[in-house]
Each structure stands twice: as C-alpha cells, then as structure tokens.
Amino acid sequence: MPSRRLIVLSAAAATALAGCKKDATSPPVPTSVVLSPTIVTLSSINETRLLRAAVLDQRGDTMTGQTIIWNSSNMAVAVVSATGVVQAVSNGSAQVTAVSGGLTSAPATVTVAQAAVALQKAAGDLQTDTVGQQLATALMVQANDALGSPVAGVTVTFVVTSGGGAVSTPSAVTAADGRASVMWTLGTGVGTAHQVTASAGGATAVTFSATPVAGAASALVLVSGDGQQGQPSMALSAPIVVQVNDQFGNPVSARQVDFLVTSGGGSVTPTSAPTGSNGRAQTAWTLGPGVGTQTLEAQSGALTGSPVALSATVSNLTLTSVQPDTLVEGQSATLTGDGFSTTPVNNTVTIGGSPATVTAASVTSLTVTVPAYDCQPARSVNVQVNVGGANSNTVEHPLKAAGIVSLAVGQQQIVLDPANFCPTGHSPDLRHRLPKPGAARADAGASGSCRRTAHSVIRARRPLGASSGGRERGTGR
C-alpha cells in the first residue's frame, strides 16, 4: 500500500510541472486595464492633463498594440480625447475610464476647481465727474483663472486709496460671468489723484482712477492786494487778486469777476476778468490823486462773499534827497521830501535797515542821527521813511564809519577808546598787539582783528615791497 501512494503522488507532481511549462510558453492574454494617474485636479477651464492606460496580460506584463477607448462620466465637467488627454470644461468632478476589448479600467477621478489668479478691469475706469458726486458707471472687475476664463464666487474687496470719497459696498462676489461691481462717489477735493483698488486673495489687484472737477461757483474770496500803501496817482506795487471757489473750496475757472473803484478816484486795469485754471482773477489798481484811504470792490454775481471790499492808504510821503553826500555813522543827516510828520517820533527812518533817531521834523525835512554799526566797511545803504504805516520810496546813499586815521609808514597813534576802533580791511598789514601790560597796540597785519583794552596804539608798517611814501589806514570811531 505505501508503495502505491508514492507512485500516485509522483504522477501528480509530474502533471503540475508539465502545466507550468505550458503557461510560460502560452501566448499573452489581456487580463486588466490600469490608469495613471488616478486622481487629477484642474484649476483652470481648458486646462489639460494626459492620462495613460496600460493593458496587462495574465502575467502582469504590458501588452502593446491594444485598442483603448476613453470615456468620461460627466462631459459637462471634463472631456477626454482619444489619446487620453483630459480637458476641464466647468467646475465639478468626473470619472474617466479606459476600455480595451471587454476590459474596463478602474476610474480616474478628475476634479475641476477654478482658482482666481488675476483681476481685470471690465468697466468704470478713467471717468471724469464733479467732486462729491457718484460716478455714472459702476466700477466692474472680472476674476480670471490662469488661462483667462472668468471665475464665479470670488469675493472682491474695493477700497478707496486716494482722494477720499466712498464705494457703495466694501466687497462684492463675482457672478457666473466672473464679474463684480460697486458704485463710487468721488471725494471733495481736486488736485489729488482719486483712486480705488480692487483685490481678491492672492489674485493680482487692479486700481481704478477718476478725474474730479470743481463744482459750481459758490464763493468769492480775497487772495492778496488788500491794505497796500501808495502815492497819489501811482499804481500799487502788487496786483489785486481774488479767487472763485466751489462749495468745497476748489478753484473754479472761467467765472467772470468785475473790479470797481468805489472811492478816491483812480482806475483798475482790467475792469473785468475771467478766472483762470487756478480760479483766480486779478487787476492792477492805480490810485486817485487824493491822500487818505481809497477803496475798491471785486464782484462776481451773488456768490458768497461778493463783493470783496479792499482798501489802500494813499500818502504823498516822498523822500527826494539825503545829505551829506556820504553819511557818517553817529553823525547828523538831513532828509528832504514831502509828507513827513511835524512830530519827530511819528517819523520812522531806517538807514541800512537800522533805525535812525529823528531829532527835528517838518513836513518837508527831517534831521536824524545816523546809527552806528559794528566795524562795517564803507558801503551804500537804503534810506526810507515811514509815517503812519505808509512807506516812502527808498533812496540809496553812501555810508562810512565815523573817522579814518591815516598814518605814514612808521607812524603810530593812540586810540583812547578801543571800542571805537576797527580795521577798515584796506590795510593788509594792520595788526593789534600788546607791547607791555596795561597797554595795547594796533599794527598793520594780515588778520585785520584787534584786541580791545584800556587804550590802543595804531602803528603802520611798510608792507614788503611797498615804497616809503605809502600810508596805512585804520578806522577809529
């Protein structure tokens, strides 16, 4: 019995071995279809992705030359070409399979989920309107994916970034066409850029711009030219300038302004003028022949502030001459002219910008003491008289220090009050030194400076190369 079982088992093993040899040499038979990849995500409409299908035989080897047919379960979301290229059609999901003979692959899941990468201005940019008004056209943007298709359901934020004003809502969601819009009311000022920026997450933002223009003329205001002083029958030095504004203070152009002399005679040129781009109109005012206060009005219809009243003070104050021919610091001078006050303290005289003391006065003459200056050289200065707030014309006149000390080379002179001594700058070799305690010397030197002590000595030296007849000068006051 044992021998018989052994023989039967051996026969079975031989049969199995024969079968294995037969499979290894048998022709391949299609057994399955496999896709790669099996999960696909597309973020733009018309975006594509290639799927690959492999037909495997009974041994798991890839078979070539097999016919494959591709199918999509939802062609409204994604379609697939005969070569396995999947293309996005709309947001959603679809199952894509490959069929070869009677074999069907496991599905690949395709998801289409658009992502907005850029905003595009669709309407409302570069409008022009009146300040404080709502623009006629809404600001509209379109959210696009990477391939330029509109994206719905995107929240877009609108922010006024310049010029003031407001938008009708701070944010809006894009519709099926990918568009969202808001209304924009401009700010109240001109002269600055008016802008609104639209943004949405990581998408590229866009900026809308608008040009504001002034509203209707509302007010007339004075700019300059009031309260001037002048002489009879002479033109004022500065023009009369007024400005027309809208309700927000913006300048209004092309508004007519009339100018009218209301007292004192005189005239204006022009009598009427339109405002320019800066809202301003101006005229030149020639005073009448009388003295005192003269008046003028600027008018522009029924605007707030119209008419604007202006006045000018007219005086026959005139400075005709100054004596002596050269003014000397600290000494007396005579000013001749007209319109002076007979009360000395009512006349303010300036010489070189410094006040002079008026010691005597008549209508046509003033006696003054020239002010002293701190070691300034001889020069020309302006002389002017002011009476009751009115200024005379200015007269340019020579001025020098109180005294000149002229020394021959080798000579010297003691100045008892060093505070009244300074070099003129004409002596490159005038120098000040101390020869012994308690005494001071001033000698010709390059520095031109001096030390002020109890007394000073001025000494002149012959500069190198100078002739023996030369003289040095210092100024003593």
What are 122-169's pLDDT values in tens digits?
999 999 999 999 999 999 999 999 999 999 999 999 999 999 999 999
Is the pLDDT confidence value at 6 over 50? no
Topology adopted by domain 118-213: Immunoglobulin-like (2.60.40)
CATH 3.40.50.150 fits 318-400, yes or no: no
DSSP string, 97-133: EEEETTEEPPPEEEEE-----EEEEEE-TTEEEETT-
| Distance separating alpha carbons of residues 52 and 70, to the nearest angstrom | 10
Q: Which pLDDT does position 191 carry in this prediction?
A: 85
Give the model confidence (pLDDT) of 427-450 as tens digits: 444 444 444 444 444 444 433 433
Task: Report which of 384, 422, 429 is spatially closest to residue 402, judged by C-alpha positions.
Answer: 422
Whether 206 contacts 126, CB under 8 Å: no
219-314: CATH, from 2.60.40.10, 2.40.50.140, 3.40.50.10490, 3.30.70.20: 2.60.40.10
Q: 16: part of which helix (H) or strand (E)?
A: helix 2-24
Look at residues 338, 393, 336 and name the one whose alpha carbon lies nearest to residue 367: 336
Of the listed ranges 185-199, 363-377, 413-427, the least confidently predicted one is 413-427
Q: Please, are residues 474 and 377 in contact by the beta-carbon 8 Å criterion?
A: no
Decide if pLDDT at 415 tops 70: no
- Its pTM stands at 0.67
Residue 337 CA to residue 318 CA, distance in Å, equals: 5
Instruction: Record the tokens describing residue 319, joined without a space.
Output: 């400075």
Domain extents for the chain?
30-112, 118-213, 219-314, 318-400, 404-476
Torsion of CA 442, 443, 445, 451, to 10 degrees: -20
Q: What is the mean pLDDT of the chain?
A: 86
The more confidently predicted of residues 249 and 25 is 249
- Indicate the class that CATH gives domain 30-112: mainly beta
Provide mean pLDDT across the span 400-415.
Answer: 71
Helix (H) or strand (E) holding 52, with range, is: strand 52-57
Dihedral pair phi/psi, residue 51, rounded to 5°: -100, 145
CA 356/CA 373 separation, integer angstroms: 12
Residue 445 structure tokens: 């030197």
